[in-house]
Structure 1
């Protein structure tokens, strides 16, 4: 079982750091994913929450979410398509509240394309009440995150293949991602003290994002300067991730765990408001493997067996990549399965990704 290296206090952890300016960053990334499932990434060239493209994208997101509800509703997310499994558009507060009816997620968000090809597959839906130049960082940021994710995936695939963690075929599918499936999701988390501005049912348990793993290869998170609410489950309880200014958070995903047979695990995590705040903003890039990546019945069965015995909070039900494949008896492509997963999310409203 993977373990986080340093528990700062009973409720907080410090993730290891991967520095892209170091010559051994590839090896370091594989090693910390193997032991920690997550890491902080520095010297990535995107600035921080108060300067550079990162800051500009956060500012644009605040302007977007400050628009009247009717303006945001005009670009509401619809169902995904076969070509673009991840939806485009806005979803309101509480629209994605997990698999428990007793929970209410105090967040709103917008799903956007993350690269030229994904834009062609499904164009962005952005409010017309703001001029394009004000919203442009929300299209530039994911394009840069895509390039960063490709660099990370290529390096991780190279080292993982050398160390026989991945077979050559799966290493190639991992390194060749970013072919249009990738997604960029922008979140605005509301304070919970006033029941999410009065929108939450009086009896609901409030949180920002339900317990989950991510379905892809890698997830890159850029958050604002507030004390982040991301928590990772380890040693039988959740621990809040200590934030570091200018550092991106990188999580391994379910696909990476699947093809590495558990060597590179996907962390169970959630987002909560640990202390009273004025809210939180985050920019999240989901990197997926090549759409034609095969999901093999034998690999899926082993992944389901690992997940069934993995530690988790008592009674927790959450939606992993391999859920829905219990009777799989032939190879299915990652893209086809992802489309089915997202169709289920939009149809029933269970938990989506962070």
Structure 2
């Protein structure tokens, strides 16, 4: 991260941690500082493999940024929302449905949640190459920090995790890394997000669900933990459980593309966002994410040379000949999300078909 004198911006004060007793998921905590040597990575890969297969989420600690640097990122994350006018936001809104890209703003009420209720969150998305698009005035002095943060996420967090995931499948360490070039053509991006409180009427109509249960469409999602409790994961026993906030920790999960590449060994994990507990209602919820995808031209077929897959079999979501590229998959998922009429299946599950593959939403 840049260490020179930084531009002055207002401090974002997050909500106090909840004091309510919630049913938290028991997630593994992975110490990334213990992944320096081949022996350490071999040992850590077992922990990551088991965490990914049991819960699909895990924490990362000791990743290399200090709490002060972490706080600075959340100060930056609030800038595109609190310090950009609505008029300027509209000027930088992404043409999401037409382009299949999130670059720019997703404005509030773009997605349909349920029962005629639309979302109350906005986010701003920047490709890891921050020069690809123009940005609002308030963000321009901060672009060197954002680019450095993207590079940090990619090279110091994503690549080490990809090595551990590859070792968990008994693949060469760089099997997944080689498909995630930092300078290659692709849409891996930084997302800053802000949720706003909703009306009681909206909460009632959606049964307090802010974002339906879904899977991410990339390979690995890096979420920088923040204190407002709202994220829940669908546990193996079928119950939704809360994700606990840990200061200066990362929350990691796999998406569709990793499920494709791993032949179903690492499943895309189902999660949702709900109304926060009573003592945190009324606060905004600012998030900082790094959504990783392979290079655009990578065909999402399983690494069939994995000895693990050769022993246990491959679970394909489509035939290899029909598998989409990363670009096709992310464009299809991005364009359709929150914009299509979903087909209701069993037990509150809703479905749509993207590139010939069934995509499920959990209501």
Could you state the TM-score of these two structures normalised by the residue count of structure 1?
0.73
Contact 1:150 1:176 in 2 (8 A): no
Q: Distance in 2 between matches of 1:250 and 1:175?
A: 20
Instruction: Say which SS state the counterpart of residue 18 (structure 1) adopts.
Output: strand
Do the aligned partners of residues 337 and 64 (structure 1) sit closer, same or farther apart at CA in structure 2, a change above 3 Å counting?
Answer: closer
Which among 47, 55, 58 is matched to residue 36 of structure 1?
A: 55
Q: Give a deviation string over 1:161-182, Cα, whole Å, max 9, x none.
A: 42xxx6x7x9724543143331
> Corresponding residue for 1:58?
74
Q: Give a deviation string over 1:95-151, Cα, whole Å, max 9, x none.
A: 1334x454432211111112x3xx46xx234212x2622454333322211112122
Aligned length: 300
> Corresponding residue for 2:154?
146
**1:102-181 alignment to 2 at 5 Å?**
102-114=116-128, 116=129, 119=130, 123-128=132-137, 130=138, 132-134=140-142, 136-147=144-155, 148-157=157-166, 159-162=167-170, 172-173=175-176, 175-178=178-181, 179=184, 180-181=186-187
- Whether 1:69 aligns to 2:80 is no
> Corresponding residue for 2:3?
none
Instruction: Say which SS state the counterpart of residue 185 (structure 1) adopts.
Output: strand
Contact 2:111 2:339 in 1 (8 A): no
Contact 1:105 1:206 in 2 (8 A): no
Unaligned segments of structure 2, at least 5 residues: 1-20, 35-39, 305-313, 343-351, 353-358
Do the aligned partners of residues 183 and 63 (structure 1) sit closer, same or farther apart at CA in structure 2, a change above 3 Å counting?
Answer: closer
- Whether 1:289 aligns to 2:294 is yes
> Corresponding residue for 2:29?
17
> Corresponding residue for 1:269?
271
CA RMSD of aligned residues (A): 3.5
Q: Distance in 2 between matches of 1:281 and 1:103?
A: 21
- Whether 1:335 aligns to 2:338 is no
Could you state the TM-score of these two structures normalised by the residue count of structure 2?
0.71
Q: How many Å apart are 1:89 and its aligned residue?
A: 0.4
> Corresponding residue for 2:347?
none
> Corresponding residue for 1:227?
228
Contact 1:97 1:209 in 2 (8 A): no
> Corresponding residue for 1:307?
none
> Corresponding residue for 2:6?
none
Instruction: Say which SS state the counterpart of residue 13 (structure 1) adopts.
Output: coil
Q: Distance in 1 between matches of 2:206 and 2:334?
A: 25
Instruction: Say which SS state the counterpart of residue 328 (structure 2) adopts.
Output: helix
Unaligned segments of structure 1, at least 5 residues: 1-8, 305-324
Contact 1:97 1:104 in 2 (8 A): yes
Which among 207, 213, 216 is matched to residue 215 of structure 2?
A: 213
Contact 2:233 2:241 in 1 (8 A): yes
